[in-house]
Amino acid sequence: MKPPEGMFDESVIYVTRQGAQVQVDGGRIVVWDVDGDEGELASFPIEKLDTINVFGGVNFSTPFVARANEHGIVLNYFTQHGKYRGSFVPEKNTIAEVRRAQYDLSRDEELAIAQQMIAGKIRNARTLLSRKGVRGTDVLKDLGVRAESDTTKDDLRGTEGEAAERYFHLLDETLVDGWTFEKRTKRPPEDHINSLLSLTYVFMKNEVLSALRQYNLDPFLGVLHADRHGRPSLALDLQEEFRPIFCDAFVVRLVNRGVIDHEDFRKDNRLSDDAFKIYLEKFENYMNEELTHPHFEYTVTRRKAVRQQAILLRKAITDELEMYHSLTFTK
């Protein structure tokens, strides 16, 4: 198969240069060094972008914000060290019919979608482990089957929890000497590996948020994660299937290839400034790296693959497709 053309190329940019300003110049977005004297740092055609992530002391010109609004460009704000602070979401982002379909989903329909996501996640966890030669994943196989036959969301959450525990237990075996994975800790991440995982989940969550917004889904209305004020539940749901195969695999690659070392962390387990820049660059390359799509067999970047999942999710919600089809890799 051939991929549809012109999809989402260069659709996300990151601005990390402190003291930079994002401006518009005709049909282009220009990142300008206002504090220093380097002038134009980069420029991008406006109609290609849908997300701009800025870190720390970066600001926007007023005409730029107006343009971003007009073109439906989402702006995500992070601290200089990658902690998420908030977003600017353009107003044209709702399409009544999509929202109506999303609000009208029955419990059963939500469960069916969530089952595909969790079963997909478990499948991908197994695949990552077996790519790394880790054995003993049969339990995961059984849990995958169970996910598809659970009849309540609580049961499904239970299955997911059990699978996660098994999987993280085995993840340690994928790491090179000098690195260990004890257990998953979140707030705060207690070691370097957990810190990298948390950071990567934040970045992937933002990829997924952009994708959902691009297709006008309400990211705050989940199918499995409980709706809690201010939590993008649907993004967390859709993120599940990407966690092992994209996020964890990325972290494993960073440490196994020695891109990130223990020396790159500060006392509080956060990456040092220089290491964080490297991390960002690697993450961006990783999302733009091409792979063969496991279902469609054409070449796509990871970013495109994620965005296509948002399309498939929307189609499942608006009844264009019978069911949600998660992105699963079987080898």
Asked if 112 is part of the footprint of another protein (rule: CB under 8 A), the reply reads no
Q: Is position 295 an interface residue for another protein (rule: CB under 8 A)?
A: yes
Cβ distance to another protein smaller for residue 169 or 315: 315
Q: Give the Cα separation of 240 and 160 in Å (integer).
A: 10
Nearest to 275 by CA among 85, 84, 81, 83: 81
Instruction: Look at the chain and count its residues.
Output: 331
Provide φ and ψ at 255, rounded to 5°: -80, -40
**Chosen residue from 108, 154, 263, 319 binding another protein by CB under 8 A:** 319
**CB 212, min distance to another protein, A:** 14
Residue 5 in contact with another protein, rule: CB under 8 A: yes
- Which range of residues in 195-203, 243-251, 272-280, 306-314 is near another protein by CB under 8 A? 306-314
Is 295 annotated as contributing to ligand binding?
no
User: Is 225 annotated in some ligand binding site?
Assistant: yes
Task: Give the sign of the dihedral formed by CA 157, CA 158, CA 163, CA 165.
Answer: positive
Other Cβ atoms closer than 10 A to 18? 14
Residues 186-215 touching another protein, rule: CB under 8 A, are 215
**Residue 64: strand, helix, or coil:** helix
Any contact of residue 7 with another protein (CB under 8 A)? yes
251 in Cβ contact with 243 (< 8 Å): no
Distance, in Å, from the CA atom of 331 to the CA atom of 328, rounded to the nearest integer, reads 9
Query: Which residue's CB is nearer to another protein, number 44 or number 296?
Result: 296
Binding another protein (rule: CB under 8 A), the pick from 37, 106, 322, 330 is 322
Tell me: is residue 284 an annotated ligand-binding position. Answer: no
Helices (H), 104-218: 107-131, 138-149, 153-171, 192-214
Q: Smallest gap, in angstroms, from Cβ of residue 27 to another protein?
A: 17
Summarize as ranges the residues that interact with another protein (CB under 8 A). Answer: 1, 4-7, 92, 95-98, 215-216, 295-296, 308, 311-312, 315, 319-323, 325
